[in-house]
Structure 1
Amino acid sequence: MPQAQTINPTFSGNGNPDLGYNPPGVRNTDSAVPLHRKEPVTHDYNCEGPAPGKLAFRWIYGSNVAAKNRDPRVQVMQYNEDTFVLRQNVCVHWEAPFTYLLFGNQSALLIDSGATADAQHYPLRETIDAIITRWGQARGRSKLPLTVALTSGEDVAQNQGLAQFAGRPDTTIVPKPFDVMKRHYGFRKSWPSSKGAIDLGDRVIEVIPTPGTHKDGVTFYDPYCNFLFTGDLLFPGRINVSNDGDYIASLERLKAFAARQSVRWVLGGHIDMMFVPGKFYPRFATYKPYERVLQLTPDLIEEALQYAREVAGRDMMLIRPDFVLFNGVSPDQRTRVWPEGVPNIDPPHPF
């Protein structure tokens, strides 16, 4: 067996930030050249601050007539060399859920699996396989195990694509049933107070129980990019609270966690909000040209906690600039009362 080649992304090759041809945003790219390596690369996932990357671009936003849409069924955005953000086409499923693919030295992790099981309409596995193959070529690794984990096994918009990975070689699927999932992470007797972990090889992803929108909800933390992957718990959209006591406790847990750890972005499972404060797309919309960006700043954990306490024990919806809480009411609930402190701006008409 050849010895793994250890490369420090900060001080070697095109990963040296002191070299004039290497701008600050292009760091931790030790496997960019050559593409086909004969020896495996061991990447150094220790770096000061979050690993560089970029989310500054526009997501595909669908069509008025979904059947006529010709955009890719899965949109892929490479945040950095080891981190990918994927989104299901809104015309394939109106919730247009996000999934996340993370690489370590020994394995890969897919967080969530989208809303469609049919690979012909939503070729998630084919897309993931292609990314893993190319990544393996760049890193000199012909075989890379994959773990598929969910922010919630209850969430239909995030668990349907799981069927595409059944029978895939070298693949671990975290079980959907609540009790089995808890046993898998070691939560069986300590839910929701403890934490679990998924070790990808020098990149250890923390698993934090966060019920509240779903009884089996979990959040994943990546210390390499400093991301919190929150699924349905906190995202720029219509947050349907199923148990307000659990929801508040989970946000308290995340707030305490973020106070101890560096968090750059909170990345949820969907986008419903428009770029104007407090306005959002209704359910089943397949044309969303004025979406807000995906990423939330970590201070919004505290804001969500503040307003979760306000709606606790009350059947109501509450509008904030970056999210809307629905507690004990239909996700189609409307209100004529506009919240104080939120600018009431009409979004442009798309036609």
Structure 2
Amino acid sequence: MPPAPAPSLVPYNPNLNGNPASATGSAYPNGNPALGYNPPSVRNTDTAVPLHDRGAVVHDYASKGPAPGNIALRWMYGSNVAAKNRDPRIQVMQYNEDTFLLRQNVCCHWEAPFTYLLFGNEGALLIDTGATADARHYPLRDTVDAIVTRWGQARRRPNLPLTVVMTSGEDVAQNQGLVQFADRPRTTLQPTPPALMKRFHGLGAWPGGSGRIDLGGRVIEVIATPGTHKDGISLYDPYTGLLFTGDLFYPGKIQIANDRDFVASLERLKQFRDQNPVKWILGGHIEMMFVPGKAYPRFATYKPYERVLQMDPALLDEGLTYAREVAGKSVMLIRPDFILLNKVSPDQRTRVWPDGVPNIDPPRPF
């Protein structure tokens, strides 16, 4: 038999929509349509058919800057009557050919948490597992399996192993779907007890330690970030420049559990951001409206005027400034892109509108 073809190193496609104008083959080494993988009829993405016959594709994830990607669609926003909602239980958005953003339908669970699926040459990583255990109502495993299967077929990489981790094992909005993966073959699950979680990620010097998850050329960094949860972690992907922060920092009502840990974790993330290129911060939820300082109440299943998911990394400076201000106090502090709640109810309200935040009434949905 002739020897198997060598794995192909796929150069980056500088013509792909969303690339920076200065992109070059050496800067972003993935996805060259000239190699025949990406005919124009399938938008030059190598996750689309027809499949090639040249052996497993090997991507080079060592780009000089954040690989391009788009959050191009509007997130599903639910219905006034949840039982009448007919949207998919999970919305899947392909950020780029190796990165997928998934969101639970707000009518399936009012927190509508996000999960993230990343691929490398030798494995896939699922970050967080949503708020519903029952696969009939929240088919997370079936959805992930379908994406993994299609990706593996296109790359000639069958039986790709999957690792499932959570930004907090104690956060019920992010850990309930874990049970769906309990018997999945070739799957490694992050344990939920804090001591085992720390050992799993090699976070011995908690909370100052850091760990790594190697997906095969794409190495994800794990950062200890307690504060909203005692076992909180954040994850950073150098390939895309995306920083996944779960409940620690997101466009919503951030419920602080330990204000000293919260401040220390934001300081740690700010220092990390100053030393690494962060394109966007992606948290676990959206609760803010598109007008400054206004958020949807808990249990709302109709959110037509949401803020966008992605947060500018510069907002860490603002978050840290006001985290220090609320430390030691029982207070609700409103900022344009987030609300800090320290030692008060998540349903806390205020009649005093903060200086520096425009007080704009959002449109009524009716």
> Structure 2 unaligned runs (5+)?
21-27, 38-45
Displacement of 1:4 in angstroms is 4.3
Task: Give the equivalent residue in structure 2 for 1:36.
Answer: 51
Deviations 1:209-230 (A, max 9, x none): 0000000000000000001000
Distance 1:279 1:310 in 2: 20
User: What is the CA-CA distance between 1:24 and the residue it aligns to?
Assistant: 5.4
Alignment partner, residue 155 of structure 2:
139
Give the TM-score, by structure 1 length: 0.95
- The alignment status of 1:128 with 2:144, answered yes or no, reads yes
Displacement over 4 Å in runs of 4+: 21-24
Q: Give the match for residue 7 of structure 2.
A: 5
CA contact (8 A) 2:240 2:279 kept: yes
For 1:187, the equivalent position in structure 2 comes to 203
- 8 Å contact kept, 1:83–1:101: yes
**8 Å CA contact retained: 1:4, 1:41:** no
In structure 1, runs of 5+ residues without a counterpart are none
SS at match of 1:229: strand
Shift, 1:44, TM fit: 1.0
- Return the offset for 1:22: 5.0
1:283 partnered with 2:298? yes
CA offset at residue 152 of structure 1? 0.1
Between the aligned residues of both structures, percent identity stands at: 68
Partner of 2:308: 293
The CA deviation string for residues 140-180 of structure 1, in whole angstroms up to 9 with x for no partner, is: 11110000000000100000000100010000000011011
**8 Å contact from structure 2 (residues 290, 307) kept in 1:** yes
Task: After TM superposition, give the deviation of residue 25 of structure 1 in Å.
Answer: 3.2
Counterparts of 1:232 and 1:2 in 2: how far apart (Å)? 46
Name the counterpart of 1:58.
Answer: 74
Q: 1:207-255: CA deviations, max 9, x gaps?
A: 0000000000000000000010000000000000000000000000000
For the pair 1:214 / 2:229, whether they are aligned, the reply is yes
One-letter amino acid of the structure 1 residue matched with residue 365 of structure 2: P
Shift of 1:34: 5.3
CA distance in 2, matches of 1:345, 1:35: 50
Contact 1:178 1:216 in 2 (8 A): yes
Q: Contact 2:251 / 2:283 at 8 angstroms: preserved in 1? A: yes
* Alignment correspondent of 2:127: 111
Which stretch shows the higher mean deviation, 270-279 or 25-34?
25-34
For this pair of structures, how many residues does the alignment match? 342
Match of 1:250 among 240, 265, 280: 265
Distance 2:324 2:52 in 1: 54
> Is the 2:168–2:233 contact (alpha carbons within 8 Å) kept by the matching residues of 1?
yes
Q: Deviations over 1:261-282 (max 9, x none)?
A: 0000000000000000000000
In the TM superposition, what is the alpha-carbon distance from 1:3 to its structure 2 partner? 4.9
Q: Larger deviation: 177-186 or 145-154?
A: 177-186
Match of 1:166 among 182, 186, 204: 182
Pairing 1:80–2:96 present: yes
Provide the alpha-carbon RMSD of the alignment. 1.4
**Cα offset, 1:96, TM superposition:** 0.1
Tell me the equivalent position of 2:113: 97
1:53 is aligned with what amino acid? G
Distance 2:260 2:326 in 1: 11
3-state DSSP class of the match of 2:315? Answer: helix
What is the SS of the residue equivalent to 2:263? helix
Asked whether the equivalents of residues 110 and 146 of structure 1 are also in contact (C-alpha less than 8 Å), the reply is yes
Distance in 2 separating the partners of 1:266 and 1:186: 23
Name the structure 1 match of 2:85: 69
Distance 2:120 2:330 in 1: 44
